Structure 1
Amino acid sequence: MSQSPSPSVFTSFLRWLRLKNYQYEVTFALYMLTPTEKFIFNTLLLLIVSMFVIAAYVYLPNHVVTVCNRIWYYWAGDPFSSDFSFVGYDMLMDKVKMAAVKTATATATAAVGSRVPEL
């Protein structure tokens, strides 16, 4: 018995690309358009998507920093500074450390308590 050879990686990739193109055309009903109409639609779609990507690349980091600074202001009560010198920082860090120790202790206790006794 001989088995037919499996298709090459290149052939499989081309098949996958054709399938994705078919799915794209069926999803957006492009299969019923003329080639000129398809070109216009695809050009407009590419233009809009590229504008969104460029806008996100240019403006999103600054927007995220602005939002973070506003959250910091509402939480800490003063503008953000890189040296973390707001009132109560040491007390906050002590509470965070105590919560971490309590969580680690509770986790360790639960892990020891859930062990099955050996026979």
Structure 2
Amino acid sequence: MSPPSMASSPSPSVFTSLLRWLRLKIYQYEVTFALYMLTPTEKFIFNSLVLAFLSLFITAAYIYLPDHVASIYGHVHYYFTADVSMIKEYIPSPSSILQGSSAGPATGALNVVYESIQGAASTAGLDEL
């Protein structure tokens, strides 16, 4: 007597499994946001807005998040070590702000304010401004 043969069904291919998983995720997305009751035009508009907001969010995170994290790290480092050298990298000095500003009527007033602050700081013994 021979051993009973196992009736094995052919396993689905990787492509079929991926396609089935993708269809399930699309179905879950449509049911979660109630897109199944919209017309194709309304679905297109909604999905376009979601894609636009998502791409703007990812772009903003890619551009601004590293500087923000570095700034937070500088502040946390300062809070724990009281070392001002790290925080100076991320906070612009008044002179760099004035140099970056365009020449106009406000520049003269800013220079006067900056010089008076510098004078007050030097008399107070705070030469690092």
Q: Specify the TM-score bucket, using the shorter chain as the normaliser.
A: 0.5 to 0.7
User: What is the TM-score of this pair, normalised by structure 1?
Assistant: 0.63
The equivalent position to 1:11 in structure 2, one of 16, 36, 46, is 16
Q: Distance in 1 between matches of 2:38 and 2:82?
A: 59
- Are the aligned partners of 1:72 and 1:80 in contact in 2 as well (CA < 8 Å)? no
Aligned-pair identity (%): 64
Q: Distance in 2 between matches of 1:6 and 1:73?
A: 59
RMSD: 1.3
1:71 Cα offset (Å): 1.6
1:57 Cα offset (Å): 0.7
SS in 1 for 2:85: coil
The equivalent position to 2:36 in structure 1, one of 14, 31, 54, is 31
Equivalence for 2:47: 42
1:76 Cα offset (Å): 2.1
Q: Distance in 1 between matches of 2:9 and 2:65?
A: 52
How many equivalent residue pairs?
81
Gaps of 5+ in 2: 87-129
- The structure showing larger relative contact order (alpha-carbon pairs under 8 Å, at least 6 residues apart) is 2
Code of the aligned partner of 2:35: L
Code of the aligned partner of 2:75: R
Equivalence for 1:66: 71
Within-5 A mapping of 1:78-89: 78-81=83-86
The equivalent position to 1:20 in structure 2, one of 19, 25, 31, is 25
Code of the aligned partner of 2:10: P
Q: Distance in 2 between matches of 1:77 and 1:8?
A: 60
